[in-house]
Structure 1
Amino acid sequence: MKLIECPRDAMQGLTEFIPTAAKISYLNALLRVGFDTLDFGSFVSPKAIPQLRDTAEVLAGLDLSQTKTKLLAIVANLRGAETAAAHPEIQYIGFPLSVSETFQLRNTNKTIPEALAELAAMQELCQKTGKTLVTYLSMGFGNPYGDPWSPDTVAEFTQRLADLDVRVVALSDTIGASTAATIEPLFRQLIPAFPGIEFGAHLHTTPGTWREKVQAAYAAGCRRFDGALGGIGGCPMAADQLTGNMPTENLVAYFSEIGEKTGLDSKAFTEAWQAAGSVFHF
């Protein structure tokens, strides 16, 4: 079981700038919890995501001496990937590849063919520099634009990634549109079809639907879940009304309930939860 904490996703849509020192303090609290991976920041244009313009400074302030948690940075293009790859502390580089052409243009200003070409260059860079590319299949459970979507469409995208030897693919519910009826069959189709790929669930949700979504992904064999404490955040490029991230505290409670070990330090988790409240004001 791998839990990926995503403070980057929680912060990116907030209009009020979180001071760099506050980000560093919060992320250091998260690093003590024992998450598999911390999606900590993003090397993208500060005009696009002004909240994350201090990612390099934040990275310099992180205490990595007492943690096994790996760092993941999101990028939108090859230049961002090159910046991320230059930091030895970062293990994972994440890139959003959209199943929806409309959203790919909105999110990275690229067509799908252009994004795939960029992704191939990123994968080559990661292989040369010892990084692992994590590809997020955005709008992986449908889209609001009328663009083509089906499980077979997602499988076709996944095959292109497999052909590039991409090893980690997170199906991303960018607008919270998924249901158990779409989540479980999709994971059941993909997981056995691509044994060389580790599939993750990056699910956005409303407060009333989180459990059925997690249950569906878990039942289908997914063992990699993204979350954000407090369910804060969402994708500012996807909709004006942000659908929240999957609350990490709900994931932890659910897996405890079913007897699935997460390996988290409960005391550090409580401290991180308190820190999240002060950062995000909940």
Structure 2
Amino acid sequence: MFILPEKIKIIEVGPRDGLQNESRHVQEDDKLAFIEALQNAGISEMELTSFVSPKWVPQMADAPTIVKKAKHIGRQFVLAPNAKGAELALEAGAQSIAVFVGVSNTFNQKNINRTTQESLEALDPVISTLKDKGIFVRACISTAFYCPYEGKMDPDAVVALCKRFVAMGADELSVADTIGRANPQESYELFKKLKEEIPGILLTAHFHDTRKMALANTFAALQAGIDRFDTSAGGLGGCPFAPGATGNVATEDVVNMLDTLGIETGVDVKKVCEAVALIAPHVSRPIETGMYRLFVNGQL
């Protein structure tokens, strides 16, 4: 018989992962209002933005301003793919920085023009410098289950990559089903293996809902002992370098599931939906998550 965690930490990724692939430009003030509303809902860890080239991800061009103007509540991450991004993030005042590498070589090459090994070698001195400055480092493991180009990933390769990041000084691992193809058995088995082989590290599950299995995968990860989850209000999201990947699992739906299981999150579902209502007019696709539909219909 499995024992579920009593308390779960929700890490909101909507302002960055949720909006990065949005085709309609979202204004800075609308992003800040979205962030503040999520904080008011009880979110104490959030991925705010990313310091990437505006040429490739124009939605994130306002990153320095977002970091400077957002209310500082809890731990706030920014994504920095390389040394230049990390330098700009620090200049803006970021205190927690996320880096990323895909298990898949092909995904890495299409994303950042480097193999997995080359990516690690480039990030090693970056992480070392960040740790010397007292910065919290989150390592995002992309394509941990499947790659849009290479197919199914070897779980041993995922574990090996995670161990490399731990050895480099990462404080947290966010392990992602980037294209939303994993099933609950795969979710349970990989996270159980990671918990066993890398004890003591903050371990976070990150699911996309491409095949509508993200909630099931979340529950499977809970069974494996995971107590940290990346979620995106409104189910916003997608990856410019992962064809076919849709949004992240919706914050409001995950929190509702956890509430019904009696698991504490500290997050108010209705207030998350109020935050979604603020951003909904500014994104290009309708938001149709389960709890948000109930909210819009006055049933929440």
For the pair 1:32 / 2:36, whether they are aligned, the reply is no
Q: How big is each residue's C-alpha offset from its partner over 1:124-148, in whole Å with a ceiling of 9 and x where there is no partner?
A: 1221221111111100012132267
Per the alignment, do residues 257 and 167 of structure 1 end up closer, same or farther by CA in structure 2, a change over 3 Å counting? same
Taking the TM superposition and a 5 Å limit, the aligned residue runs for 1:46-85 are 46-64=54-72, 67=73, 69-85=74-90
- Secondary structure, counterpart of 1:161 in structure 2: helix
- Secondary structure, counterpart of 2:100 in structure 1: strand
Taking the TM superposition and a 5 Å limit, the aligned residue runs for 1:228-247 are 228-239=232-243, 241-247=244-250
* RMSD between aligned residues: 1.7
Equivalence for 1:254: 257
Q: In structure 1, what is the Cα distance between the partners aligned to 2:174 and 2:59?
A: 23
- Secondary structure, counterpart of 1:245 in structure 2: coil
- Could you tell me whether the CA contact under 8 Å between 1:168 and 1:199 is conserved in 2? yes
Per the TM alignment, residue 263 of structure 1 is displaced from its structure 2 partner at its CA by 1.0
The letter for the 1-side match of 2:10 is: L
Q: In structure 1, what is the Cα distance between the partners aligned to 2:145 and 2:206?
A: 11
1:214 to 215, 218, 222: 218
1:150 to 135, 149, 154: 154
Equivalence for 1:274: 277
Q: In structure 2, what is the Cα distance between the partners aligned to 1:103 and 1:117?
A: 17
Equivalence for 2:53: 45
Q: In structure 2, what is the Cα distance between the partners aligned to 1:49 and 1:105?
A: 17
For the pair 1:19 / 2:27, whether they are aligned, the reply is yes
- Secondary structure, counterpart of 1:244 in structure 2: coil
Equivalence for 2:297: none
Per the TM alignment, residue 213 of structure 1 is displaced from its structure 2 partner at its CA by 0.8
Per the TM alignment, residue 87 of structure 1 is displaced from its structure 2 partner at its CA by 3.5
Equivalence for 2:291: none
1:96 to 100, 105, 111: 100
Q: Number of matched residues?
A: 277
Q: In structure 2, what is the Cα distance between the partners aligned to 1:172 and 1:153?
A: 14
Q: How big is each residue's C-alpha offset from its partner over 1:208-257, in whole Å with a ceiling of 9 and x where there is no partner?
A: 32221111111001111011111111111111x33221111111011101
TM-score if structure 2 supplies the norm length? 0.87
- Could you tell me whether the CA contact under 8 Å between 1:73 and 1:94 is conserved in 2? yes
Per the TM alignment, residue 207 of structure 1 is displaced from its structure 2 partner at its CA by 6.5
Q: In structure 1, what is the Cα distance between the partners aligned to 2:280 and 2:266?
A: 23
Per the TM alignment, residue 156 of structure 1 is displaced from its structure 2 partner at its CA by 1.2
- Secondary structure, counterpart of 1:72 in structure 2: strand
TM-score if structure 1 supplies the norm length? 0.92
Gaps of 5+ in 2: 1-7, 288-300
Taking the TM superposition and a 5 Å limit, the aligned residue runs for 1:169-184 are 169-184=173-188
Q: In structure 2, what is the Cα distance between the partners aligned to 1:29 and 1:123?
A: 31
The letter for the 1-side match of 2:52 is: V
Gaps of 5+ in 1: none
- Could you tell me whether the CA contact under 8 Å between 2:30 and 2:279 is conserved in 1? no
The letter for the 2-side match of 1:3 is: I
Per the TM alignment, residue 277 of structure 1 is displaced from its structure 2 partner at its CA by 2.5
- Secondary structure, counterpart of 2:95 in structure 1: strand
The letter for the 2-side match of 1:246 is: V
Per the TM alignment, residue 186 of structure 1 is displaced from its structure 2 partner at its CA by 0.6
- Secondary structure, counterpart of 2:207 in structure 1: strand
The letter for the 2-side match of 1:70 is: R
1:193 to 186, 194, 197: 197
Q: In structure 2, what is the Cα distance between the partners aligned to 1:128 and 1:47?
A: 31
Identity level (%): 31
